[in-house]
Each structure stands twice: as structure tokens, then as C-alpha cells.
Copies of this chain bind each other. A is one copy, B any other.
Amino acid sequence: MVVPASWQERTESYFKNLQDRISRAIEELDGNRFREDLWTREGGGGGRTRILEEGKVFEKAGVNFSSVNGNLPEEFAAKIPLGTGTWFFATGMSLVFHPRNPMIPAVHANFRYLEKGDAAWFGGGTDLTPCYPYAEDAAHFHRVLRQACDRHDPSRYPRFKKWCDEYFTLKHRGEMRGIGGVFFDYLEGDREENFAFVCDIGNSFLEAYLPIAKRRMNEPFGEHERQYQLYRRGRYVEFNLLYDRGTIFGLETRGRTESILMSLPPLVRWLYDFKPQPGSREEKALEFYQPREWA
């Protein structure tokens, strides 16, 4: 007799496998290996953090798996719109890549399965953060995501694309962190179908991102472009520490700080009131940080 795997086991197993596939592909492209740290969480659960620093293509790349459970602080539990009480289970895979070449966009992806009291749901998404604007890269990234969404329900891409545009907006600056992608949360209902959807988006990540990294990794750049990259990375930090749900959830649930903050860029510059030269590529990039139809 075969005992069917529980949802906790099935999702954990998928997220681990996705972490493996993505880290292998990144190691192949970069030529350097991830450092792996296994950790356990005092309140319950643990994770598998993989970081590559000072690589050839990636100045910093992190791919994390975690599965944690226990009780949420009451005040924090009350803010979550689904599920009774404070008991929770959360498993997911998250990645952030900060490339060396400013012509390669940074990228983030996160896929997660949560249970809280009587509720269970999926959340996640992936979004692209270029410093320099290449419309064809933005269109490719969105096209792959649209195709993955459309295989399930054609209403999903427009809905989750818009959600992403809104979610990744720096309200204090009136601009997006990058050019978006898809974002969704509190995906309840048909759990089998929702899981299939999350797997489809997860499995599309490498197809969405790798061709862009490959075609930009040998673009020439100089000190001017490097400095602009460090400056734009400031927006990444501002978003992650001021707004990002995953970061706040991680810190509130006393996750492993070094694994949560692996998302922060390796080197960052803040300049007071920087304004790009009129007509420059940097000024042109600002147009990309407003919502637009890409696919």
C-alpha cells in the first residue's frame, strides 16, 4: 500500500528540486560553485542556503530552500488575511541574482506554500530589475511568463502582471523596482491546480532569465555604467527593507537573518538627488520603471 505524500512533503520536495536545477544551471553559466549552508530554526524547521559571491557572471547569487513551522507572533498572525490562530507551516524556494555586468538585469523569484490554522495557499512570482533598458529582454521575460500562465487560465497573466507592477513599486519614489513580471499571493481553492500552476512558473524561470543573462554577459561597460549600477542597487535595498513581504515575514518569524538578507546587493551606492543626464541611457531607463505592456 502506498501512502500518498502530504502537501507539505510534495511542496518541499518540488522546491528542493527546483533549487537544485536552478543552482546547477547558474554554476554552469558562472563557472563557480555555490557555498551551501544547512541551518535549523529554533522554533521549528530549517533550510538550505546556497550563495555564490564574487563569481564571474554573478557578483552575488543566492538560491534558498526553507521549510519552517511553529507559531507566529500573535500580532503578526492577525495581519495575515487567511487562516485561524497562530500555527503555521511555510516552505519555499527563493532566489536573487546580482550580476556583475550592469547590462544583465538582476532577478528575483520566490515560490512558496503556506498553511496557517485551517487555511492553505500558494504565493510567489518572479521579477526582473535591469539597470539599462533593453526592450527585447523585458519582452522575452514577460512572454515566457505569459505562456506559462496561459497554459492554466488566460486571466492569470494580466492579473498577476498588474499585481507585480503594484507590489514592486517604491511608493516613496513613485517608480517600480524594475520591469516587473508576475506576482501572486493567497492562491486558495483547487490546491492541485494551483500547485501545477506554481510548478509551471517555477519551471519556466530558467527559460525566462538565462537567455537574457547569456546575451548580455559580454556587453562592454565602463566605470560610468558600473557606478550607475551601484546607484540603482540602492532601490533594491530600499524595496527589500521597506516593503518586501518575504523579508518582513522572515524577520518576524525569526528566520535565519543571513539567509533572509542574502537578497541585498553586494555593493551599493547612495547619491544625493542624482539626476541622469538628459538624453542619456540612464534617463531612458527611467521610462522602464513605469508599468507597461510587455507581452
Contacts and interface: CB of A to CB of B under 8 A. Distances in A.
A102 interface: no
A191 interface: no
B251 A172 contact: yes
A258 interface: yes
A10 interface: no
A35 to B, nearest CB: 8
Contacts of A60: 270, 272
Nearest to A248: B242
Given A237-B241, A241-B242, A261 B270 contact: yes
A79 interface: no
Contact of A273 (B258, B265, B266): B258
A35, A37, A173, A237 pick with most chain B CB within 10 angstroms: A237
Contacts of A285: none
Interface string A148-178: 0000000000000000000000011100000
A267 B233 CA distance: 11
- Secondary structure type dominating chain A contacts: mixed
B173 A264 contact: no
A121 to B, nearest CB: 25
Interface string A258-295: 10111011111111110000000000000000000000
How many protomers of this protein does the assembly include?
2
Interface in A32-52: 35, 37, 51
B270 A264 contact: yes
Interface residues of A, number: 31
Contacts of A241: 237-238, 241-242
A251 B53 CA distance: 33
A234 interface: yes
A6 interface: no
A171 to B, nearest CB: 8
Contacts of A273: 37, 51, 258
Nearest to A239: B241
A62 interface: yes
A258 B242 contact: no
26 contacts: A35-B272, A51-B272, A51-B273, A53-B271, A53-B272, A62-B272, A172-B260, A173-B257, A230-B267, A234-B264, A237-B241, A238-B241, A241-B242, A242-B251, A258-B272, A258-B273, A261-B270, A262-B272, A264-B270, A267-B267, A267-B268, A267-B269, A267-B270, A268-B268, A268-B269, A268-B270
Given A237-B268, A266-B270, 19 more contacts: A35-B272, A51-B272, A53-B272, A60-B272, A171-B251, A172-B251, A172-B257, A173-B257, A237-B237, A238-B261, A258-B272, A258-B273, A261-B270, A264-B270, A265-B270, A267-B268, A267-B269, A267-B270, A268-B268
